[in-house]
Structure 1
Amino acid sequence: MAEPAGEALGGLAARLGQAAAPSGCLATARRLTGLFREARHREKATKSVFQNLLQILRKVASEVDVACKDVRALDHLDDHLLLLSECFRCLRNACVQCTSNQNMMRSLGLIDVSVHLIQLLQKLETDLESSLTAFRCSLQFLGNIATGNTDSQERIWKLVLPFLFLDCLKHQDEKIVEYSCMILFTCLNPERTRELQDENNLNIALAVLQACRRYPESEWGFLIVTNHLLKCPELVKAMYATLSNQERTMLLDMVLSEISHKNSAVCQEIDTFLASCFQEKCQSVLRLASAENIEDEEALVTLRLLDVLCEMTSNEGQLDRLQACPGLLETAVSTMQLAHLSGKQTTNVFTAAHFATGQEEISHPATGFKSHLIRLIANLCYRNKANQDKVYELDGIPLILDNCSIDDNNPFISQWAVYAIHNLTEQNERNQELISQMEQQGLVDSSFLEKRGLKVEKEDQKLILRSVRKVPDL
């Protein structure tokens, strides 16, 4: 007959409190760890179990403290560290989906003692595997006691900001970095995210990004950035100002990934900031016309900014703000003019090219730049009369028409150009008339327009550009 859960736990708790040596406690702690994998045992846990585990943590903390001050004590520390790991595993398991246990542990001071132990383990100068394991288990415990428990999250936040997050996020062990990200993600909310803007805390946000760069497969680091950091515009601005160009590219890749997956809630507040960054640095891309500048990092960041803006302007929620963003459309048109001129003056990546076989691999970073600029212009003019007129005034329509031919340096440029012409002429008679006059004067090939679903007709002595088939959304 199986021993009732309550009696089994009570007996193990008593044995745990009576054992004097680490080896005597270890087997008992392992049995408790196993029991706490099941909800029925977690629900019957008594205060005495956690009190005895707390006493063990305090004893081990004393041993670790001695070893931090005297390296000779390291020879006797391994057994204590093995026991420490098992106690943290036991506590970690007891927290799972059990708020009562979480609260009981917090009220006993187990969070405080655990944070103190983590500090000691960080100071401990040893290559003992048992030390690293104890460190990992301690972080797992903090992550579990914080999960779904706002009081525990508050306590952890007060105790560990900023030292623990900063030190652990920069640790050389990937698991310690990952578990630290788990704790940080669990504890963050809008108010605490704003706290990361403070001068003393900004390095935590930067350390998360650096961790993402070191470990690109890190799920928790990615979630911190997308679910918290990117939703705080002032924090993004503060981070962006201090990031290296490579780190900026990585951050923008994360933004792009979220927007591409239709997560429009991400970055809604930073779209105009990113637009201003693009406007400030857009002409840096022109330096890529020279082979010696092909790895210009500032230009590579600007290319990624353009990719992001193209995706943002494809989202209805962000389109309105970006259409009204001062100077963005003018910047896109003027940069397109400069790139087009550069390609006309000398042969470079901005020169329209058509490879005979179509098999050449295009690896230049600026490939597609003009195509993306036209896409951005097209999106900014979508059902927006003011922007349609602005492109007219900037002589942007002839520029777009001059980029309607196939260009292997700019895949899909002709399709984006047709889309742009569609958006520029929709319910805009002046723009329609301009293109019609260009066609009549021979500046635009009528057969070219017809192939792309457009034709010019006379109506009441006016030349009207009409669509003969629906232009697909691109």
Structure 2
Amino acid sequence: MADISEYTKILERYKSQDQLNSVINSENECQRAVSALTSIRQDLSSRMKLGSSSGAWDSLQRILQSSLSICCSGPDDSSRKWKFVNAVLLLSMNMLSAGKTTQEYAHSALGSILLMMLTDKSCPTNALANALKIFVNMCAGNDQVKTLLWQKFLEAYDPNTMRDFTDRLDDSTFAILEILMAGIMSGSTERSQKLVSDLQGNNLLCGILDRLHSWSESQDKQNFDFAYSIVTTLITHGWFSDAFKACEDTIDVPSDRQLAMTRVLEGFLVTTEDISPVYGHGLAETLYSDMFCEICKPLCIQIMKKKIESVQTERLASFQTLTLECLTALIGVSADIKDRLIDYHSVEEFLDLLKKADSMIGRRTLKSGLPTEAGKAYEFPDLKRQLVGILALLVEDSRTVQDQIRESGGLPILLSQCNIDDNNPFIREYAILCIKGVLKDNQENQAFVASLEAREAVTTDALHEAGYETSIIDGKVSLKKLSKE
């Protein structure tokens, strides 16, 4: 173990421009310098003492700045030019283990230089990865550095260079960027907001969502999880609605980025025990108005009518399923969201799409003659079951929804869903549950069902399971509640 003064002298030596020129241009000198820096990095005690010295960080600043100037100028004829730079970066990364004061020294000395590296197209991938690792260590547990670095990061790029930067990173280096971003986002609504509201932050978010979509398709779980954590942080801080709108595409509706975000949202809502923090940020309104009413419903109707089979159709089918699952999750746990959706007359919209889907898409059963395997994408498998399930949640203990269903002509369509449909597994059970809620303590709805013509009384078994029995008198159906005995 060398004395720390010896290590200090090593750093002082490589501050000399002449010495750096020799290191960069001579293989032997470069190897000697790399070995010297490696010896410091491997000496834990001395490394930590150096990390606590502002003078050591000033030396590293001069060394890195000068060596990068040499490396980034002229032709890159070998990897030797970057070997020394990477040795400096690795030493800097390991010196950051000394604590909070060290993080602030490092940020002050190296922050701007490392950001310049990230914007330089001549910088090789391994150097970019090491620079990002330094930023990760620099920010760990230090909110002040996170805020300062994040602001500098956003100011360092214009729209073109930000997209170029994210596009040229390989997956493993991009994963380090995601770890950095997840750390910066954590614990701060303001820092998270800049990923959505700032132009460069939004460009970065788009790059993350592009990778997220790609990794979800390739089932790259580790990299997917890194990106997933960033989007869930946005959701937790209430920025999903803003991010969703910021990721619109004039060509693809919904865009792959919006689909990726919705996939994360659905996973978050289904797996998170307490989702109450996200209630008050317009999430339900975005899901219902922007995603269901403006995207899912009109496009589903158009595609079902024309029977369009395409990549766009498959994207929409996935998006529709995820959107309705998200709405189901929110309605199931929040009475306030349920009431708001009722006030928006969502019942009529859900019923309208159910009617159109029922008229345009045939029921798949053994008797229907249609194949019983899952239907084509343009048939939107499970759409009707999801709509009936949402209506069942909305009608539970709600006289308003009971009446809305009757007044919108929804009772016949709900009764007609009490049949097996392999394209909509368990739709019969969901329909029975919904009908039970529609008829509960509602004389008008019970009278409506009782007034159906005998030829329409095809749901006797379903009504029985819902707690009612029927009999035909003078060609009409009479309905009464079953005895509990």
TM-score, normalising length: structure 1: 0.81
Decide whether aligned partners of structure 1 residues 103 and 449 sit closer, same or farther in structure 2, where only a CA change above 3 A counts.
same
Letter of the structure 2 residue corresponding to residue 305 of structure 1: T
Alignment match of 1:124 (pick from 117, 122, 146): 122
**1:53-77: per-residue Cα shift (whole Å, max 9, x none)?**
2232122122124x2xx32xx23x6
Decide whether aligned partners of structure 1 residues 147 and 427 sit closer, same or farther in structure 2, where only a CA change above 3 A counts.
farther
Query: Quick check: 1:82–1:134 contact (8 Å CA) kept in 2?
Result: no
Alignment match of 1:13 (pick from 8, 12, 17): 8
The answer to whether the aligner puts 1:236 opposite 2:243 as a matched pair is yes
**1:392-447: per-residue Cα shift (whole Å, max 9, x none)?**
11121221111101111211110110111122233434334433554989725434
Q: Which has the larger displacement, 195-204 or 327-336?
A: 195-204
Decide whether aligned partners of structure 1 residues 324 and 445 sit closer, same or farther in structure 2, where only a CA change above 3 A counts.
closer
Residue in 1 aligned with 2:374? 362
Residue in 1 aligned with 2:175? 178
Query: Quick check: 1:114–1:138 contact (8 Å CA) kept in 2?
Result: yes
Decide whether aligned partners of structure 1 residues 442 and 335 sit closer, same or farther in structure 2, where only a CA change above 3 A counts.
closer
| Counterpart mapping for 1:316-465 below 5 A | 316=334, 319-320=337-338, 322-342=340-360, 350-355=361-366, 360-365=372-377, 366-438=380-452, 443-450=457-464, 452-456=465-469, 464-465=480-481
Query: Quick check: 1:54–1:110 contact (8 Å CA) kept in 2?
Result: yes
The answer to whether the aligner puts 1:156 opposite 2:153 as a matched pair is no
Query: Quick check: 1:312–1:318 contact (8 Å CA) kept in 2?
Result: no
Structure 1 CA distance, aligned partners of 2:330 and 2:370? 31
Letter of the structure 2 residue corresponding to residue 465 of structure 1: K
Structure 1 CA distance, aligned partners of 2:62 and 2:278? 47
The answer to whether the aligner puts 1:261 opposite 2:254 as a matched pair is no
Structure 1 CA distance, aligned partners of 2:457 and 2:127? 75
The answer to whether the aligner puts 1:64 opposite 2:71 as a matched pair is yes
**1:178-226: per-residue Cα shift (whole Å, max 9, x none)?**
2222222222332233333245543232222112123333232221112
SS in 1 for 2:417: coil
Letter of the structure 2 residue corresponding to residue 190 of structure 1: T
Residue in 1 aligned with 2:259? 249
Structure 2 CA distance, aligned partners of 1:283 and 1:145? 49
Query: Quick check: 2:166–2:174 contact (8 Å CA) kept in 1?
Result: yes
SS in 2 for 1:386: helix
Structure 1 CA distance, aligned partners of 2:49 and 2:451? 81
Residue in 1 aligned with 2:115? 115
Letter of the structure 2 residue corresponding to residue 375 of structure 1: G
SS in 2 for 1:314: helix
Query: Quick check: 1:259–1:312 contact (8 Å CA) kept in 2?
Result: yes
Residue in 1 aligned with 2:27? none
Shift of 1:266: 7.3
Residue in 2 aligned with 1:85? 86
Letter of the structure 1 residue corresponding to residue 271 of structure 2: H
Residue in 1 aligned with 2:36? 28
Letter of the structure 1 residue corresponding to residue 174 of structure 2: V
Residue in 2 aligned with 1:285? 300
Residue in 1 aligned with 2:206? 206
SS in 1 for 2:468: strand
Structure 2 CA distance, aligned partners of 1:436 and 1:468? 20
Letter of the structure 1 residue corresponding to residue 171 of structure 2: E
Shift of 1:132: 1.9
Residue in 2 aligned with 1:345? none
Shift of 1:234: 5.0
Structure 1 CA distance, aligned partners of 2:198 and 2:262? 23
Decide whether aligned partners of structure 1 residues 118 and 299 sit closer, same or farther in structure 2, where only a CA change above 3 A counts.
closer
Structure 2 CA distance, aligned partners of 1:467 and 1:288? 46
SS in 2 for 1:456: strand
Letter of the structure 2 residue corresponding to residue 327 of structure 1: H
Structure 1 CA distance, aligned partners of 2:411 and 2:227? 44
Structure 1 CA distance, aligned partners of 2:448 and 2:246? 46
Structure 1 CA distance, aligned partners of 2:306 and 2:50? 71
SS in 2 for 1:113: helix
CA RMSD for the aligned pairs? 3.3
Query: Quick check: 2:383–2:424 contact (8 Å CA) kept in 1?
Result: yes
Structure 2 CA distance, aligned partners of 1:179 and 1:111? 17
**1:322-344: per-residue Cα shift (whole Å, max 9, x none)?**
533513211101111122223xx
Query: Quick check: 1:197–1:234 contact (8 Å CA) kept in 2?
Result: no
Q: Which has the larger displacement, 141-150 or 78-87?
A: 78-87
Q: What runs of 5+ residues in structure 2 fail to find an aligned partner?
A: 24-29, 472-477
Structure 2 CA distance, aligned partners of 1:139 and 1:86? 14
Shift of 1:275: 0.6
Query: Quick check: 1:147–1:186 contact (8 Å CA) kept in 2?
Result: yes
Shift of 1:373: 1.1
Q: What runs of 5+ residues in structure 1 fail to find an aligned partner?
A: 126-130, 343-349, 470-474
Decide whether aligned partners of structure 1 residues 236 and 134 sit closer, same or farther in structure 2, where only a CA change above 3 A counts.
closer
Letter of the structure 2 residue corresponding to residue 58 of structure 1: Q
Decide whether aligned partners of structure 1 residues 457 and 360 sit closer, same or farther in structure 2, where only a CA change above 3 A counts.
closer
Letter of the structure 1 residue corresponding to residue 481 of structure 2: L
Structure 2 CA distance, aligned partners of 1:42 and 1:385? 69
Shift of 1:24: 2.9
Letter of the structure 1 residue corresponding to residue 175 of structure 2: E
Shift of 1:89: 1.8
SS in 2 for 1:242: coil
Residue in 1 aligned with 2:475? none
Residue in 2 aligned with 1:314? 332
Query: How many residue pairs are counted as aligned between the two chains?
Result: 437
Query: Quick check: 2:118–2:165 contact (8 Å CA) kept in 1?
Result: no
Shift of 1:255: 1.4
Shift of 1:283: 3.5
SS in 2 for 1:293: coil
Decide whether aligned partners of structure 1 residues 32 and 443 sit closer, same or farther in structure 2, where only a CA change above 3 A counts.
same
Decide whether aligned partners of structure 1 residues 58 and 210 sit closer, same or farther in structure 2, where only a CA change above 3 A counts.
same
- Identity among equivalent positions (%) equals 15
Decide whether aligned partners of structure 1 residues 326 and 466 sit closer, same or farther in structure 2, where only a CA change above 3 A counts.
farther
